[in-house]
Amino acid sequence: MHGHGTKRAAFENGAAGSLYLYSRSAADKIAPNMLTSALLEILPQLAPTVAQWPRRQPGLLMVDGKKLRYSDMHSFFHQTRQIFGDNLYDFKTDSASPVILDCGAHIGMASLYFKERYPNARITAFEADPQIADMCRANFKTFGAEDADVQDAANWIHDEGVSFNTSNDDAGHVEDGADNAAVSSVRLKTLLEKEQVDLLKLDVEGAEFAIFDDCGDALRNAERIVAEVHAMDDTQANIGGLLSHLEKTGFRYALGNFHPATWLTPTAKPPFSFCPTEKFIVSVFAWQP
């Protein structure tokens, strides 16, 4: 380093994938929310080349000398930008130790965000892909969230196990198929019936429709919900039904973080120039008034 605040970056190829090295000055390390600060400095360095990285190749990202494991650079970049840059999951609570269910935890970025803001949060993170769950567990240990519980399981409507498409990125999902993995499942309704939850974070790649229907009135035991809704499959329930369920169980809600799924072929292309496709992802932010 050539002076205060100087940064350096380099790429190396290794057995685990590409390794991105990043260093910051010692003076920078006294800043609050250190992980957020470090990640927000790294993102602009990654932005020009992230589209060129090979998809679904695991690797290590060095953050202030600590190894952060990822399964797919594209997934890591966009998750981190939304979670730490846009504060997608930021919420207010009077509890010093909020109970949080991180459903669809992937490599654990959302839970690390929660832990930075609420160090005494009681977090249970669910990740069905066993290899990615191991990365999540390792990231928790490395970045001071050892007390967060990681369960290698899919959130679903029963506890009998499911067929899971392990896509090696952040799009793994419950799906029947001979080539898919058999994984454990945890019924979300049962979890909500056991305990009041301060925040339910749900990013389960289309399973949210079946899960909401199954939860019924148990959904009332979640004070707040942030659910990523995937309206991308013709066989899925419609978003109107999901929102109606929230209304019937006493929630207020707002929609945000809308993304047209332009990477998919439209089934029924809208007759509007502004709408390139009828398929989309949107975040639902719901709370008990």
Is pTM beyond 0.75? Reply is yes
156: domain CATH number? 3.40.50.150
Last-in-domain residue among 66, 88, 110: 88
| φ, ψ (nearest 5 deg) of residue 271 | -85, 40
101 shares a domain with 63: no
* 38, 121: one domain: no
Could you give the 3-state DSSP secondary structure of residue 156? strand
Residues of the domain holding 212? 92-287
Q: Which of 48, 66, 88 is the last residue of a domain?
A: 88
State how far the alpha carbon of 219 is from the alpha carbons of 41, 212, 223, 239, 282, in Å. Answer: 38, 8, 9, 17, 20
| Residue the block writes with tokens 């398929």 | 279
The answer to whether residues 143 and 35 touch, using CB atoms and an 8 Å cutoff, is: yes
C-alpha 283: how far from chain center:
12
pLDDT tens for each residue of 38-67? 999 999 999 999 999 889 899 999 887 899
Beta carbons of 132 and 149 less than 8 angstroms apart = no
**208 and 228 housed in the same domain:** yes
Q: Give per-residue pLDDT as tens, 197-231.
A: 999 999 998 899 999 999 999 999 999 999 999 88
> Do 39 and 120 sit in the same domain of this protein?
no
User: What pairs with residue 264 in β-bridges?
Assistant: none
Query: 63 and 1 in one domain?
Result: yes
- 177 vs 37: CA distance, rounded Å: 42
Copy the structure tokens of residue 149: 């519980």
Domain match, 200 and 116 both: yes
88, 115, 130 — which closes off a domain?
88
**Do 107 and 81 share a structural domain?**
no
Same domain, 96 and 151: yes
- The residues pairing with 186 across neighbouring beta strands, listed in sequence order, are 155
**Are 252 and 146 in the same domain?**
yes
